[in-house]
Each structure stands twice: as structure tokens, then as C-alpha cells.
Amino acid sequence: MQISNEDYRQLKPLLFSLGYRLLGSASDAEDMAQETFLKAYQIDEQLVDNKKAYLCKMMTNRCLDLLKSARYKRELYTGPWNPEPLLLDGDPSEYVLQKEGLSIAYLRMMEHLSPDERAILLLREAFDFTYIEIATMLDKKEDNCRKIFSRAKQKIAAVEGESLDYESNQSIIQRFIEAFQVHNMELLLELISDNVTLYSDGGGKVHAAVRPIHSRSNVIAFIFGIVSKAPAHSQVEVKTVNAQPAILISIDGTLQSIISFYIRDECVQEIYFTLNPDKLPK
């Protein structure tokens, strides 16, 4: 298959975007996209009716193979697993095609789906492929794809109410920071759900909670503990991560952690602490 520079420029963001949503890893998505383009050069041009659909099929199947082999590794992962945060510095179109299905909360919820459910949900909802196209890509019957999509939608319904209002979420996070800085418990009780859960991902590389932390009182106590131990010269800033505002904490210019949020009804429902250095941008 011939891949022109224009093809690469137009289709690379699509393949990366698909791979990142399937895998929850920017580095793996980048590798899979490059491997897909290299493999495409070996495909007979006469076998390809639609270059975009064919490349997406190749990318999807490569990612599904990786997902299935990664299941065992995830089971051995130390502590909670959070998706790799994606900092969208510069032009986001270089990395992703749209904001839907990109938040950390959405990507983490995808872990509850089987690889096939994940692929069909994304191809249909985030990338707007028809059921006929999806069936061809995954070598399944169209009716079966519809059933799998319906099942996946039911499983992921928990994040359907997630707020994607950037300015509103940014305001909530700024108030969240200020409340911890001045120990304003009244504001914290207003901002954080009573049933909040915090997922701390250190991957066994750095100190982190090895189990999810549940309830508002436990989460607030945990964060206060972190704040009290933080060096006085720590830098805290709010930046765009996965198309939503998130907190970045650095020490001496080195990024130490990223804190992302699942916000619904102007209230923090889940908090994702990513501390694993392998997942943090260098």
C-alpha cells in the first residue's frame, strides 16, 4: 500500500487517537501507529478499497492483541492502574481528533470492558464508523456488533454524566486547591462527594496507596497527609490533561505527579493520582 506524506499527516492523528483510547497509553499508541504504517507498506494496494478503514482495522487488531496480552500484566500491577495522562501542549490536533472519550475517568472506565467491547464502543461512538464497517474491521457479524455496543454502553453508563465543561471544572479544581491550602473543611465538604474514591497509581516505582481510598473523610485525610509532607518549594499548577484541567505537582522543575478528576454535578466523584514516573511526561 502506498502511503504518501499527506496520508501520514492526515491519518497519523486518527490512528494515535484510536490506539490511545484503546490502550490508555500514549507510548504504546505511538508504537502501534508506527508499526501499522510500516506494515501497511507490505499490503497489496489492490486489496485495499478504503485506505482509512483498512489502516484503522490494522491498528485496532494490533491494539486488541496487545490488550489481550496486557491483561495478565495488569493483574500483576502494583496498586490501582490509571491511564497514562496526555498533556496537550501545543496543537491538540497533532495528537487527538476530538475530546469525546478522552478524559481519564472515561479511559479508566474502559478497563471494565472486554477488548472487543472497548473497540466497538470507540469505533462507533468516538470515530463514527458504521456497524457494517466495524463488522468488517473485526471480522464479526453486524448484529453481533450492535449487541456488543449496547452491552458496552450499559457498562460504561457510570461516566455518562461526567462534566466536560472546561471552565466550570477549572473553577472547581482551583477552589479544591485553595481549600486544602487554607484547610477550609466547609468548602471541601461542598466540593467532594461523600462517596468519592481516590486511585493512587505508583506502579510499585514510588510510594503510593496500593488500594483505592473510599469515602470523603478518608480521601481528605489522605490528601492532607500528602500536603503536610510536601516540600515547601513544591510547584502546583493547573494545566490541560486529556482535554480537561488537572493539577500538576513538580519539585525543582521535575514533574512528580498529575491529579485528574471525575466531576459530575459540580462535585468531585473520583480522583486519580498518577505518580508512576513511567507514565509522567519527561
And the C-alpha cell for 114?
472486554
Q: Considering the entire predicted model, what is its pTM? A: 0.90
Among 228, 220, 216, 227, smallest CA distance to 257 is for: 227
How far CA 66 is from CA of 19, 71, 275, in Å, comes to 10, 9, 24
Domain boundaries, the chain: 1-76, 166-279
| pLDDT, position 101 | 75
Mean pLDDT by 10 residues, the chain (282 residues): 77 90 90 90 73 90 87 76 83 56 89 92 91 94 97 86 93 96 93 96 91 96 88 90 94 93 96 95 80
| pLDDT, position 93 | 45
Q: Give the number of other CB atoms < 10 A from CB of residue 87.
A: 17
Q: Give the number of other CB atoms < 10 A from CB of residue 242.
A: 24
Among 193, 218, 223, 220, smallest CA distance to 208 is for: 223
| pLDDT, position 73 | 67
Fold of 1-76: Rna Polymerase Sigma Factor; Chain: A (1.10.1740)
Tell me the C-alpha distance between 185 and 194, whole Å.
13
For residue 91, report the phi and psi dihedrals to the nearest 5 degrees: -85, 110
Q: Which residue has the cell 500514549?
A: 26
| pLDDT, position 230 | 81
Q: Are 123 and 137 in contact (CB under 8 A)?
A: yes
Strand order in the sheet with 267-274: 213-214, 192-201, 267-274, 254-264, 244-251, 234-241
| pLDDT, position 171 | 97
Residues β-bridged to residue 180:
none
Q: Give the number of other CB atoms < 10 A from CB of residue 21.
A: 25
Tell me the C-alpha distance between 36 and 33, whole Å.
5
| pLDDT, position 75 | 72
User: Could you tell me where the DSSP H helices lie in the chain?
Assistant: 5-23, 26-40, 51-75, 104-109, 115-121, 131-138, 142-155, 166-181, 185-191, 216-229
Q: Are 22 and 114 in contact (CB under 8 A)?
A: no
Per-residue DSSP letter, 124:
I
CATH top-level class of 166-279: alpha beta
Tell me the C-alpha distance between 75 and 22, whole Å.
18
